[in-house]
Amino acid sequence: MDFTIPDHLQDLTQRVRHFIDSEVIPVEQQLQQTGAELTKEQVFALRDKAKAAGIFAPTMPKALGGLGLNIQEWVPILETAGRSLLGPLAIHCAAPDEGNMHTLHTFANPEQVERYLRPLAEGRVFSGFSMTEPPPGAGSDPTMLMTTATRDGDEWVINGLKWYTSNGTIADFLLIMALTDPDKGAHKGSTIFLAPIDTPGITIVRDVPTMGRGDFGGHAEIRYENVRVPHSAILGEQGQGFAIAQARLGPARLTHCMRWLGIAQRAMEIAAEYAGTRHAFGKPLAEHQATAFMLADSAMEIHYARLMIHHAAWLLTNGDQARSETSMTKVVTSEVVNKVIDRAVQICGGTGISRDLPLASWYENARAFRIYDGASEVHRMVTARQIVKKYAAPRQ
Ligand SMILES: Cc1cc2nc3c(=O)[nH]c(=O)nc-3n(C[C@H](O)[C@H](O)[C@H](O)COP(=O)(O)OP(=O)(O)OC[C@H]3O[C@@H](n4cnc5c(N)ncnc54)[C@H](O)[C@@H]3O)c2cc1C
């Protein structure tokens, strides 16, 4: 196997790194110190600079203004952008827009591409993916979907309650998962609809207050009450909702891993710098074995998470759905990221807890990664099921 990163990709990665260091991290530091929230205007200003630098929309094809890279090529770019939580927003590969763009690129018809995907890919609008519902509706188990869409002539009428729709409060349009054929169950009877946010009947109830600062776009609770959309609002086919959601989740999960790996890498670098320069008991912290081992564990874990990401990305690039590989990679990376940040906080002592460093906000924000896009337990359950199916087959 050849692990060489080709020259053009190395060059692009370096340009992204320069942009993150010179344009993004100063904004991150300013927000950190003032406690201010990132504004849409700041995002648009960073996006203009990213466009000028030729590093905008790495996951989109050139025809839509993107860089035209394959999934394997996304890995170093998204990891580098992910060195700051603002980086992916700036170069336009942040969740949930990135996953929605990929989904629309795969399933939208030409009219939907012009109306929804093109402005989204250009970074002028925001989108949300509205699937999760409060109990007793869909959560870890999406087959518990309760939101319905009922046909009325040429229209569909959507009713239901969703929550944790990321970007909900700033979105210009939503992808809404609803049950259209209840007798077929959620697997075959659910459909995704596209609707502008100002469609009558869509009400943002609130942004669910969550752990972590600077979570741009928030996570909204949204009520759908007699929301009328035309039949042409269906993404893909009627009854294809679950399959589309599955097709979205594989790559979307992996891009979360790519971005968060950048944070883990930077957290380790911050910890190493502190440990190498701060003295205690007559020598640098890094020379105390307990600290050195924490750094070594972080380096090893980041390395294996990165290799898993590269492998799953290679499979996806080559047409494999990589369902179990993206699942396993998501569990490993989300747990590695949390451990690495936790160790970095520990190594940096009081400074790790302070807002002088970004570690505190990463610590808060990373926790959700073990829950969204499938909790670790659900991925472990699916992985175990596949192993048992493979190795516990009845003997012939
Ligand atoms: C920051 C954030 C952003 C999100 N963004 C979106 C979004 O944009 N769109 C959207 O639709 N949703 C979004 N979600 C929702 C997310 O996908 C759900 O939180 C996730 O699927 C889990 O569902 P739940 O919260 O209902 O947990 P539940 O289903 O209530 O599960 C709770 C816990 O039960 C355990 N569990 C569940 N099943 C099993 C099992 N089989 N075996 C063992 N343990 C199990 C797990 O530990 C799990 O964490 C977001 C969530 C967060 C926190």
What are the tens digits of pLDDT across the range 218-262? 999 999 999 999 999 999 999 999 999 998 988 999 999 999 999
**How many structural domains is the chain composed of?**
3
Provide the H-helix boundaries in 20-168. 25-34, 40-52, 71-81, 87-91, 97-107, 110-112, 118-121
CB of 129 closer than 6 angstroms to any ligand 1 atom: yes
CATH number at residue 101: 1.10.540.10
Q: Is residue 2 part of a domain?
A: no
Based on the fold, state whether residues 60 and 177 are members of the same structural domain.
Answer: no
Q: By alpha-carbon position, which residue is closest to atom 19 of ligand 1?
A: 372
- Strand 127-130 versus strand 173-179 pairing type: parallel
Distance from C-alpha of 320 to C-alpha of 377, rounded to nearest angstrom = 24
Residue 345 lies inside a defined structural domain of this protein: yes
Atom of ligand 1 minimally distant from the CA of 373: 17
Instruction: Give the domain-ending residue among 95, 121, 147.
Output: 121
Task: Please identify, by atom number, the ligand 1 atom nearest to the C-alpha of residue 212.
Answer: 1
**Rounded-to-integer distance, Cα 84 and Cα 260, Å:** 9
User: What is the length of the chain?
Assistant: 396
Q: Does the CB atom of residue 378 touch ligand 1 within 6 A? A: yes
Q: pTM here?
A: 0.96
Q: Quick one: pLDDT at residue 215?
A: 81
Residue 1 lies in a domain: no
Is 364 in contact with 211 (CB distance < 8 Å)?
A: yes
Give the separation between CA 372 and CA 376, rounded to whole angstroms. Answer: 9
**Cα 74 from Cα 122, distance rounded (Å):** 18
Residues 131 and 228 in one domain: yes
Give the domain-ending residue among 91, 121, 151: 121
For atom 4 of ligand 1, the residue with the nearest CA is: 164
Whether residue 297 is found in the same domain as residue 381? yes
Whether residue 356 sits in one domain with residue 263: yes
Q: Give the Å distance between the CA of 276 and the centre of ligand 1.
A: 39
In a domain, 155, yes or no: yes
Residue 85 CB contacts under 8 Å (≥ 6 apart), including other chains: 28, 214, 263, 358, 361, 362, 365
Q: 139 in ligand 1 pocket by Cβ < 6 Å? A: yes
Q: How far is the CA of 170 from the centre of ligand 1 (A)?
A: 22
Question: Is there an atom of ligand 1 within 6 Å of 131 CB?
Answer: yes
Say if residue 225 is in the same domain as residue 267. Answer: no
Q: In this predicted structure, what is the pLDDT of residue 214?
A: 65
Assess if residue 27 is contained within a domain.
yes
Burial class (CB in 10 A: 0-12, 13-18, 19+), 165: buried
* CA nearest ligand 1 atom 48, residue: 375
For ligand 1, say whether the CB of 372 is within 6 Å of any of its atoms. yes
34 Cα: distance to centroid of ligand 1 (angstroms): 32
Q: Do 214 and 168 reside in the same domain of the chain?
A: yes
Backbone angle region of 201, left / alpha / beta, with phi > 0 → left and psi within -120 to 50 → alpha: left
Does residue 375 line the site of ligand 1, with CB under 6 A? yes
pLDDT for residue 249:
87
pLDDT of 353-366, one tens digit each?
999 999 999 999 99
Assess whether 180 and 195 both reside in one domain. yes
Domain boundary among 121, 156, 187: 121
Whether residue 173 sits in one domain with residue 111: no
CATH number for the domain that contains residue 155: 2.40.110.10
- How high is the mean pLDDT in each 10-residue block of the chain (396 residues)? 92 98 97 92 98 98 97 98 98 98 97 98 97 97 96 98 97 98 94 98 97 86 98 98 92 97 98 98 98 98 98 95 94 98 98 96 97 97 93 77
Question: Which atom of ligand 1 sits closest to the CA of residue 210?
Answer: 1
Contact partners, residue 204, CB within 8 Å, separation at least 6? 168, 169, 220, 221, 222
Query: Are residues 369 and 332 part of one domain?
Result: yes
Domain of residue 136: give its range. Answer: 127-238
Q: Which helix (H) or strand (E) holds 294?
A: helix 289-317
In this structure, the answer to whether residues 387 and 249 fall within a common structural domain is yes
Does the beta carbon of 217 sit less than 6 angstroms from any atom of ligand 1? no
Q: Are strands 219-230 and 202-207 parallel, antiparallel or unpaired?
A: antiparallel
List the CATH number of the domain containing 262: 1.20.140.10
**371 Cβ below 6 A of ligand 1:** yes
Are 12 and 115 part of one and the same domain? yes
Answer yes or no: do 381 and 251 share one domain.
yes
- Does the residue 78 lie in any domain? yes
